[in-house]
């Protein structure tokens, strides 16, 4: 199946493998057709927009060459005289033919604009924001059409953040929203909705003083930046808070990571049938988890992921034909991959160390209790990681200290409170456990972990473990 991704690095994928789209201008042709959302783009427009102000004399033939090469890349099995079905001729130009589900930007927009009850909006916005992997079309930012589309998609992203928060407040989830809304309002201080939602979330938690303080901050920013007072909506909200006229908050709903009625689908890949049977029995007996399929080697695992679209993959590190490390790398290279948790019989497998660096969401010993498997699956699905502390010690003892030119720089300069969180991440603790240890809210720990990933240029929480040991912040066996 072809997939196109523009919410981050621009790429096309065939059955999970990246397609070579050629050079920058050739890629720009495909990106411009994607932006047109299925509508035809005249060749004259493509020429003007790819070479603003100074197209070369052979621009037409160059565009035709780009299209021909893109067609071969996107449909390698198409016969020479067979009509293209993806990048099609649509006089006086070309068009991209794809379903909404095949293009992340199209699916993103469809989700953001969808309506429904709060629980459905919450789920849709979560899904939409999960598609966002970075600034849209950034590699074409110097071209005006790409910059315009990137700005439009960024505005939709902000709307998705705010629609998710609105739905969360309706569902009684104010506590889990405050930290994100603080960051949102600080990053976009001229957005009225950001301040309204932040103030309302604080008020719903019984923090009326903090809610009013947020609105005072908004007023100060608006006066400094715009020379304006707050909008009628925000001044009305402020008056209602002072007069205690707001409706009582809805009851707080404590829900699992996924919305009620939905289960985590888990694919099990192991070359031993006995292990697969045991894990399947464990999944079938655990509420909220269900088997999505099985595989006996790495190639089967990759094919099963494409067919069943599981939420989490339990993947044996040692398998025939294609081992777990190679399979994990290919699975995680897909545009919207599942979470991967590695299984191992030993705690000192060098491939396991490489798997963590590749971005898997932790690992468990096959001899672990069922509770450990369940905890690892749920942590991975929640975007967290569970790395068995006992395995971590043995693994890092064997492989830490090796110089790696790709590892993050030293952690000097980070404040002590962030280093404390990183040390506990390196010990294999979850956000909830770290929060209990340091007397922090779980949401606060999550924000610190996110900032550490950004500071070190890492993409996955498990890689923080490697960074902590490789930098010498944590020493194997030393508490």
Cβ-count burial of 245 within 10 angstroms (0-12 exposed, 13-18 middle, 19+ buried)? exposed
pLDDT of residue 400: 47
- Going residue by residue through the chain, which has 479 residues, state the pLDDT in tens, using 9 for 90 and above: 899 999 988 999 988 789 999 999 999 999 999 999 999 999 999 999 999 888 999 999 999 999 999 999 999 989 888 899 999 999 899 999 999 989 999 999 999 999 888 888 988 898 888 888 878 998 898 999 999 999 999 999 999 999 999 999 998 888 888 988 999 999 899 999 999 999 999 998 888 899 999 999 999 999 988 898 889 999 999 998 988 888 765 554 444 444 444 688 999 999 888 888 888 888 888 888 899 999 998 889 998 998 888 999 999 888 877 878 888 888 887 777 888 998 877 544 456 666 666 678 777 777 777 877 887 888 777 766 555 555 555 555 554 444 444 444 556 667 777 887 888 777 667 777 787 777 777 777 878 887 787 777 766 666 677 677 667 666 544 44
Q: Can you give the pLDDT at residue 376?
A: 81
The answer to whether domain 105-242 has CATH 1.25.40.10 is yes
Contacts of 155 (CB under 8 A, 6+ apart): none
Choices 3.40.1180.10, 3.40.190.10, 3.40.50.2300, 3.40.50.720: CATH for 264-399: 3.40.50.2300
Query: Class of the 2-103 domain?
Result: mainly alpha
* Same fold? 105-242, 264-399: no
pLDDT score for 336 = 77
Task: Please count the CA atoms within 13 angstroms of the CA of 235 that sit on its side-chain side.
Answer: 7
Q: How crowded is the C-beta side of 373, counted as CA atoms within 13 Å?
A: 27
Q: Tell which residue, 58, 33, 57, has the closest CA to residue 45.
A: 33
Pairing of strands 312-316, 2-5: unpaired
Domain boundaries, the chain: 2-103, 105-242, 264-399
């Amino acid at each position: 199946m072809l997939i196109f991704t523009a919410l981050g690095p621009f790429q096309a994928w065939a059955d999970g493998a990246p397609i070579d789209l050629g050079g920058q201008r050739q890629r720009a042709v495909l990106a411009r057709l994607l932006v047109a959302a299925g509508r035809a783009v005249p060749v004259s427009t493509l020429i003007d927009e790819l070479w603003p102000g100074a197209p070369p004399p052979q621009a037409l033939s160059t565009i035709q060459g780009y299209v021909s090469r893109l067609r071969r890349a996107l449909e390698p099995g198409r016969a020479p005289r067979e009509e293209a079905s993806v990048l099609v001729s649509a006089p006086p130009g070309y068009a991209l033919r794809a379903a909404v589900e095949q293009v992340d930007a199209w699916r993103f927009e469809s989700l953001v604009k969808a309506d429904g009850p709060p629980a459905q909006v919450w789920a849709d916005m979560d899904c939409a924001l999960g598609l966002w992997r970075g600034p849209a079309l950034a590699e074409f930012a110097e071209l005006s059409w790409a910059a315009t589309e990137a700005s439009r998609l960024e505005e939709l992203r902000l709307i998705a953040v705010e629609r998710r928060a609105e739905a969360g407040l309706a569902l009684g989830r104010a506590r889990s929203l405050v930290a994100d809304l603080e960051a949102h309002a600080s990053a976009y201080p001229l957005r009225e909705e950001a301040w309204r939602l932040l103030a309302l979330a604080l008020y719903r938690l019984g923090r009326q003083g903090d809610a009013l303080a947020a609105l005072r901050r908004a007023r100060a920013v608006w006066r400094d930046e715009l020379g304006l007072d707050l909008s009628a909506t925000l001044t009305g909200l402020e008056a209602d808070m002072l007069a205690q006229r707001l409706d009582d908050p809805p009851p707080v709903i404590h829900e699992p990571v996924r919305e009620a009625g939905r289960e985590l689908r888990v694919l099990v890949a192991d070359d031993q049938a006995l292990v697969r049977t045991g894990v399947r029995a464990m999944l079938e007996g655990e509420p909220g988890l269900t088997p999505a399929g099985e595989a006996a080697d790495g190639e089967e695992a990759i094919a099963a992921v494409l067919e069943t679209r599981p939420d989490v993959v339990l993947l044996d590190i040692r398998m025939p034909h294609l081992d777990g490390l190679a399979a994990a790398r290919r699975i995680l290279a897909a545009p919207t991959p599942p979470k991967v948790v590695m299984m191992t019989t030993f705690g000192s497998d060098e491939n396991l160390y490489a798997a963590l660096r590749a971005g898997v969401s932790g690992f468990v010993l096959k001899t672990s209790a069922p509770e450990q498997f369940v905890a690892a699956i749920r942590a991975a699905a929640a975007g967290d990681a569970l790395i068995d502390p006992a395995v971590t010690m043995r693994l890092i003892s064997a492989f830490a200290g090796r110089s790696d030119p790709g590892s993050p720089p030293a952690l000097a300069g980070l404040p002590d409170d962030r280093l404390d969180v990183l040390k506990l991440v390196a010990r294999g603790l979850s956000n909830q456990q770290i929060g209990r240890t340091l007397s922090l809210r779980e949401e606060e720990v999550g924000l610190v972990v996110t900032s550490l990933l950004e500071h070190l240029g890492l993409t996955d929480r498990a890689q923080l473990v490697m960074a902590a040991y490789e930098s010498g912040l944590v020493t194997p066996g030393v508490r």
